[in-house]
Amino acid sequence: MMAEEAILGYLENHDEISDSGQFATDRGLDHNDVVNVIKSLHGFRYIDAQDIKKETLVLTEEGKKYAEKGSPEVQLFLAVPQEGSISKEELQKLLDPAVYKIGCSQAAKNKWVQMGNQISRKVQHVEDRVKDLLLQIQDGQELGKDDNNSLKARKLTALQTWKGYSVKRGPEYAPRRRRTATDLTREHLQGGDWRNIEFKEYNFSAKGPPPESGHLHPLNKVKERIKNIFRLMNFEEMPTNRYVESSFWNFDALFQPQQHPARDSHDTFFLKAPATTKQLPEDYVEMVKRVHESGGYGSRGYGYEWKREEANKNLLRTHTTAISSRMLYALAQHAKQQSFTPKKYFSIDRVFRNEAVDRTHLAEFHQIEGLVCDRGLTLGHLIGVLQDFFSRLGMDKLKFKPAYNPYTEPSMEIFSYHEGLKKWVEIGNSGMFRPEMLRPMGFSEDVNVIAWGLSLERPTMILYGINNIRDLFGHKVDLGLIKKNPLCLIGIK
């Protein structure tokens, strides 16, 4: 530590270092090193340091160029032939455009050249005073007021603030830093020198290194919060641990006709291997086929020939409603064998759609789904549950708009008033499952199911102020966001 020795050593015989910059230059030290040592010694009160600020004149980028190559007026003058003249166009070709422009006006002002279509010299010899002045400044010399002003007006020089310190001995001054012990060791105790050792004081405000730990993705945080809301409302979680689903559970069981555009490979990812499902509950398949073809339970059905091969096709599930249909089927079976038990179910998991990726769409996203299965449920119950659920998410103002799903009737889109955007935004989809879906499962006529679904990404983006979905999910996500995102505070009601 050359700088430290120099500073402490100097103060042994002198009262003050009046200028850390001068001190560094005199000793061939780097001023930055000197400043760092001063800050540290000041912290331990070996020295008292006072800020000093100085304004120094430095060359601008333009000034530096002229200091090297000469002022534009001299460059221009030298480009004009000694005898005769040169045309404007020719002269312009010889010089940098900025040099030409400034050079013309300054050289004319100095009466060095005769301007016109042809340019000629008016004097034989000129001196580059501007360049000389710039070199003097580079050298650290002081200039007269007029010269300073004219260079400043031409933006060839500028003031720069320089920061340094003046330094005196501090209350803990010593010509050398005392070595303080950080730990009491066995050797200290055995040798007895613990009596004389100076221990380093504890710094209770020092920050320790942050402990390494895992980090939850914002989607996981919001997911956990929403799960808790469902749990508070006494909903049970459905097992969603299957991305691959058969068309049967994803579409047919939901009374979605086989020609429906969503069942096209443009919208749905079908599996190549295994391309088809191994087994389906045959009795139930028969009931589903019948309701699609000819209806029943007061419905006319779709009146087309239902194909088993279509239902067998494996796909990546396009909605978690596929899980809901499996769960409701199981519940209806249970009811047939024993007795009907009302249920409240929810799920939050990933779904896949063959979509063009843009700032609000990805080919995979997460769905939140809730359903209530009970006797005598009405649209009023659905609206009530939605109001309860969304108000726990912080969305109190809801509006509903009639909509269409193959498996619900009536169906409603859900809108919430966004206080930030000052407008109504669509937040989900809902409805009452059709008898064409529930009756073939085996539910009796008086059992209804109200259900709703929404994406997990939408509320997460709103809560975390993210407006491109690719910043939230996928390979472009900044890991910093995952490590530093704040707590998710919704649903504390």
Q: Which residues bind ligand PHE (CB under 6 A)?
A: 319, 321, 369, 405, 408, 429-431, 451-453
Smallest gap from Cβ 431 to ligand PHE, in A, equals 4
Chain centre to alpha carbon of residue 256: 39
Nearer to ligand PHE, 4 or 349 (CB): 349
Which residue has its beta carbon closest to ligand PHE?
A: 453
Find, among 433, 454, 455, the residue nearest to 331 by Cα. Answer: 433
Nearer to ligand PHE, 23 or 452 (CB): 452
Q: How many residues does the chain have?
A: 493
Nearer to ligand PHE, 368 or 472 (CB): 368
Nearer to ligand PHE, 3 or 450 (CB): 450
Signed CA dihedral, 24, 28, 32, 34: sign only: negative
Compute the distance between CA of residue 274 and CA of residue 288 in angstroms, rounded to an integer. 23
Smallest gap from Cβ 411 to ligand PHE, in A, equals 6
Nearer to ligand PHE, 68 or 237 (CB): 237
Cis peptide before 486 (omega within 30 of 0): no
Smallest gap from Cβ 408 to ligand PHE, in A, equals 5
Nearer to ligand PHE, 199 or 404 (CB): 404
Smallest gap from Cβ 430 to ligand PHE, in A, equals 5
Nearer to ligand PHE, 157 or 321 (CB): 321
Nearer to ligand PHE, 157 or 367 (CB): 367
Smallest gap from Cβ 276 to ligand PHE, in A, equals 23
Nearer to ligand PHE, 99 or 451 (CB): 451
Smallest gap from Cβ 369 to ligand PHE, in A, equals 5
Smallest gap from Cβ 409 to ligand PHE, in A, equals 10
Smallest gap from Cβ 474 to ligand PHE, in A, equals 21
φ, ψ at 3 (rounded to 5°)? -65, -40
Question: Rounded to a whole number, what is the largest CA-CA distance in the chain?
Answer: 118
Smallest gap from Cβ 455 to ligand PHE, in A, equals 8
Q: Which residues pair with 199 in a beta bridge?
A: 181
Nearer to ligand PHE, 252 or 369 (CB): 369
Place of tokens 């209804």: 448
Does residue 235 contact residue 327 with C-beta atoms inside 8 Å? no
Smallest gap from Cβ 256 to ligand PHE, in A, equals 10
Smallest gap from Cβ 404 to ligand PHE, in A, equals 10
Smallest gap from Cβ 345 to ligand PHE, in A, equals 11
Nearer to ligand PHE, 408 or 448 (CB): 408
Nearer to ligand PHE, 277 or 430 (CB): 430
